[in-house]
Structure 1
């Protein structure tokens, strides 16, 4: 009888451990939302011409992530363009045009995405961004987590959804939920 009780406790521990691991794996596989240049209201002429691209080079984008560009919609816009138009700041035939003031763009495939300002003279003064999205074969390193995100690029973890949740700063609630689940797991295990 005692062996059966011990075996049941081991099963309980194993099941609980599997649930916790599954929770964390699903949390880190969710879409992320990046504020361009790591801060709100940053889609404007930068202090240095390559500021946006230096930020983007330090950030590891995956398929399903979003970038967020915030700006005054009365004086600016965001144009998604091809590489040639990006290099020449040609606004004539954008792939997509955004003018809502808080533009959230889904990075839906691997490879480069090119964005320029729609305001006259802004692109020529450095208000342009190239984002490189990793292919599924080039996944994030095992140690990638919200804690390892660059300090100057707040990341929000969002559940996959057709339209992303609003907001634009810091880590999303998922990290807090993870710690709560982990704490609850330890409490439960302490009383078993």
Structure 2
């Protein structure tokens, strides 16, 4: 490799590793339901946002983004109990700006319901289960324990099921592949 020093190759390899690590740790913004009009009363059970959430993979640091008419609806983050009862009287957090962005700050379930009267009872609600980081090295504050779950919500205990589609895994994959090709061409010019 005439014209290339060991320092240049080492620096190039270090940059490649940095790009790879950065790409795998990037948080994602996920549009709730995958479309701008998803925060509404579902037309059927198969239209439920929980169907979408079960097919998606959520990591600590990801963001959920809702788009809706803030004058007519809102997003309430609630406890498991309030989720099950569709209680809008004691939300953990309330959002009504029409474009809501919530950071998923810890592993475990997050519960959201509509703040519009009667909408939750008609199915406008969402449970998102955030995966525990690999290696268990997450150092954030864990959520406080909640009362024992009713049998209707026991299905949300434990780790999330892997999605049936690889679409979420491909989110940063194309970028990382392109960066790898560029780095390889830089390190090993033709």
Is TM (by shorter chain) over 0.5? yes
Runs of 4+ in 1 over 6 A off after TM superposition: none
Listed as ranges, the gaps of 5+ residues in structure 2 are 137-161
Q: How far did 1:185 drift?
A: 4.5
- Between the aligned partners of 2:24 and 2:176, the Cα distance in structure 1 is 12
Q: Give 1:12's aligned residue.
A: 8
Q: How does 1:167-182 map to 2 (within 5 A)?
A: 176=175, 179=178, 182=181
TM-score between both structures, scaled by the size of structure 1 = 0.71
Instruction: Tell me the alpha carbon deviations over residues 20-66 of structure 1, each in whole angstroms, 9 at most, x when there is no partner.
Output: 12202211201111111111231111222462111111111111111
Q: Give 2:65's aligned residue.
A: 68
What is the count of residue pairs matched by the alignment? 162
State yes or no: 1:149 paired with 2:148: no
CA contact (8 A) 1:24 1:178 kept: no
- Of residues 128, 133, 137, the one that matches 1:136 is 133
- Between the aligned partners of 1:12 and 1:58, the Cα distance in structure 2 is 43
TM-score between both structures, scaled by the size of structure 2 = 0.72
Q: Give 1:89's aligned residue.
A: 86
Q: Give 1:190's aligned residue.
A: 189
- Between the aligned partners of 1:85 and 1:116, the Cα distance in structure 2 is 9
